[in-house]
Structure 1
């Protein structure tokens, strides 16, 4: 979690969590997604919806993209 606090992109942190889950032989995509989501700071979890049982890695990563302020291009 400290990586995100130090400015690491949340998506990079989530990718690291996926690699760690796979190394730990956690094969369930839902378990990998849930583990990554729960490792995020509460401030990020507020803005990133908890993954559903049917969520894919791509869907979860898309929802974790940084949001731009409205009116900013």
Structure 2
């Protein structure tokens, strides 16, 4: 029983130490990093919420670039 509890404690400690996923806003501001994370996610080298956030941030950065290019046309 004690062994099981210490194993569960170790797992909980490791989970608490993992870094928080970067936000979609972060990836919007850093499109090169977003593209790298999206590519890593596609190969399975990267997983989790950061994949979703990187895809959303990358899409937002591309959208912003298209809007800026459109505005320059006027």
Q: Same fold (TM over 0.5)?
A: no
- Higher Cα Rg, which structure: 2
Larger helix proportion of the pair: 2
